[in-house]
Structure 1
Amino acid sequence: MNDRILVAPTDLLGDGVFETVHLRPTGPWLLEQHLARLARSAAILGLPEPDVTPIRERVFVATGALRIIYTRSLLDASVSPLPESALRERRDGVRVLSADLGISVRRRPPWSISGAKSLSYAENFAARRWAARQGADDLIWLSTEGYVLEAPTSSVVWLTGDELCTVPPDEADILPGITAAHLLSSAPAVGLRPAERMISLPELAAADGIWLSSSLRGLAEVTELDGTPRPRSPWTGRLLAALGFSAG
């Protein structure tokens, strides 16, 4: 890691990967899972496997957000405060729109890097800005077949009966959600059955609860989908507690 970040020209083209880790008083939350995904993303982009030993050995005394960046010229880790938006969305929930991503889950190009957490994130942020102009907080991307994929910076999780679900990343060719996977692994402890399956937008709208999951937010409950308000789920607090977050 560098004390001073030196950026190569190729890095400015987004030819790299990153991870965002929640820093807790006990240390970086789910660090090994994030480092494993960093290596997986690097492999998708054809980057050498990163030597993450300096990150494993570093002692983090702050709480907030740990951002790890890996490109062909550097490996860097920096700490910043937890965004206020993450706390607000965890507490108040989010109003969400659906949008066709224009990509088929059956006909992805062989050079697709959609399963990697790449630095090419401009479209993700542009999507959230577009949602904000429509009076929403976030959006959910759909495939051309009408399947739910993911949100620009989070995974989609939903509850139907006693089944807690998320989208299977390999089948949908999306980024594997670390928080979503950890939540599903904790589902039996709170009396729920974990599952991964594809789901259409009408099926999602009929779910008993919908959340966007990410490392810093934990869970943000979807309180409105495509302009239709949704009742708050009694499971939100319990699921946040299962992840070690408070709802406040």
Structure 2
Amino acid sequence: MKPLTLHLIDLSVPGGSITRHEPDETLVRVDDLGITRGDGIFEVAAVLHGTPLALEAHLARFARSARMLDLPEPDLDLWRRAVGAAAADMADQPGLTAVKFIMTRGIEGAASAPTGWALGFLADDPAPAQAEGLDVVLLDRGYRHDVADTSPWLLAGAKTLAYAINKAALREAERRGADDVIFISSDGYVLEGPSSTLIARIDGTYITPPVSLGILPGTTQGDVFADLERQGVPTRVDTLSVNDLETAGAMWLCSSTRGAAPIRTLDGRRITVDHRATELINTGLDARRQ
């Protein structure tokens, strides 16, 4: 990730304020709870030619995560302006950029306002993953599928800064010679990737797991389904088992900056890569950028 622009959001004043800074400036305190505890939330919106993509869906998910963590309700207009300002700074950048926007609980041990900022950066080129596909492994997340209902304090389905487990899972995938991960619940339900949403095509229907399993609402997956539905292609939100994945004709992992990347192997088993469908899906995603 190459930082390109930074906007600090002062949440301590009524209505908030936004100031532009150089991305290498030192602005976050070492006793900020986002640093010391991972106590905060974030979103990443892809940007092309200065326009953030699926921003309203990202803002809605940002607010959802804030409620789950008992953080102050974010002023979405303020955050919309901050993300828009960071995106506009990158309008002349070739290729795909992105904005990561973050809110932490603030300074540890102080009755302070949350800390917020929007960081614009150059995103990795998604073309290789889209063209070549991904080698993926299944990893047990260690929770039952109903963890969001039985144990809401575990924050399943919130996009928090506490990403150590997700990063550990990706390192485990690398140790196994793979690129990415699909988490499964301890009782055998298919969940999501560390930073992606799964779509499986089974008998011609595109299926993604429901957020009731304690997973994030997929912003990119939502756009994919909306485009498929406009074309009359059947889609469904439904539970999937590991056995269901064995019947899938094709599968994709979807994320904001990677688009829809096909899965070419799952636990070493070869999966058909439907290049034509992948191209059509990503063309539909690209149309959001016009």
1:143 counterpart letter in structure 2: S
TM-score by length of 1: 0.92
Partner deviation per Cα, 1:118-155 (whole Å, 9 max, x = no partner)? 00001101100110111000111111111100011101
Aligned to 2:49: 25
SS in structure 2 at match of 1:235: helix
Partner deviation per Cα, 1:23-81 (whole Å, 9 max, x = no partner)? 01260001111011111101100100112434423431415011000112311001110
Aligned to 1:66: 99
The question of 1:218 aligning with 2:241 is answered no
In 2, the alpha carbon distance for the partners of 1:113 and 1:105 equals 13
The question of 1:147 aligning with 2:147 is answered no
Among candidates 51, 54, 59, match of residue 75 of structure 2: 51
The question of 1:82 aligning with 2:123 is answered yes
Among candidates 161, 167, 170, match of residue 209 of structure 2: 167
The question of 1:101 aligning with 2:141 is answered yes
In 2, the alpha carbon distance for the partners of 1:208 and 1:139 equals 19
In 1, the alpha carbon distance for the partners of 2:195 and 2:152 equals 23
Whichever of the two has the greater Rg, that structure is 2
In 2, the alpha carbon distance for the partners of 1:151 and 1:6 equals 29
Is the contact between residue 165 and residue 184 of structure 1 (CA under 8 Å) also seen in structure 2? no
User: Which runs of 5 or more structure 1 residues have no equivalent in the other structure?
Assistant: none
What is the CA distance between 1:175 and its match in structure 2?
Answer: 1.0
In 1, the alpha carbon distance for the partners of 2:123 and 2:225 equals 24
Among candidates 163, 176, 189, match of residue 121 of structure 1: 163
The question of 1:16 aligning with 2:48 is answered no
The question of 1:178 aligning with 2:202 is answered no
Aligned residues, how many? 243
In 2, the alpha carbon distance for the partners of 1:35 and 1:195 equals 24
RMSD of aligned alpha carbons: 1.7
TM-score by length of 2: 0.79
In 2, the alpha carbon distance for the partners of 1:238 and 1:27 equals 22
Is the contact between residue 18 and residue 70 of structure 1 (CA under 8 Å) also seen in structure 2? yes
Kindly report structure 1 stretches of 4+ aligned residues shifted beyond 4 Å: none
Q: Which segment drifts farther, 153-162 or 208-217? A: 153-162
Aligned to 2:112: none
User: Which runs of 5 or more structure 2 residues have no equivalent in the other structure?
Assistant: 1-8, 10-18, 91-95, 107-114
What is the CA distance between 1:185 and its match in structure 2?
Answer: 1.5
SS in structure 1 at match of 2:286: coil
Is the contact between residue 183 and residue 190 of structure 2 (CA under 8 Å) also seen in structure 1? yes
1:133 counterpart letter in structure 2: R
Is the contact between residue 5 and residue 76 of structure 1 (CA under 8 Å) also seen in structure 2? no
